Amino acid sequence: MVLRRGLATVATVGIGALGAACMLPRDPPPGASGPMIYEYQNCANCHGEDRRGKTQGPPLTNLAEHWTRANLIQYLADPKSWIDRTPRLRKMRSEYSGEMSSYGNLTYAERKVLAEWLLTEASD
Contacts with ligand HEC by CB under 6 A lie at 38, 41-43, 45-47, 56-58, 60, 63, 66, 79, 83, 89, 92-93, 96, 98-101, 103, 114, 118
Q: How far is the CB of 17 from ligand HEC (least distance, A)?
A: 20
In this complex, which beta carbon is closest to ligand HEC, that of residue 13 or of residue 64?
64
Q: SS3 for 20? A: helix
In this complex, which beta carbon is closest to ligand HEC, that of residue 13 or of residue 27?
27
CA 11 to the chain's CA centroid:
28
Q: How far is the CB of 22 from ligand HEC (least distance, A)?
A: 11
Show Cβ contacts of residue 106 under 8 Å, excluding neighbours closer than 6 positions. Answer: 28, 37, 41, 76, 77, 114
Q: How far is the CB of 14 from ligand HEC (least distance, A)?
A: 23
Alpha-carbon gap, residue 47 to 96, rounded angstroms: 10
Q: How far is the CB of 6 from ligand HEC (least distance, A)?
A: 35
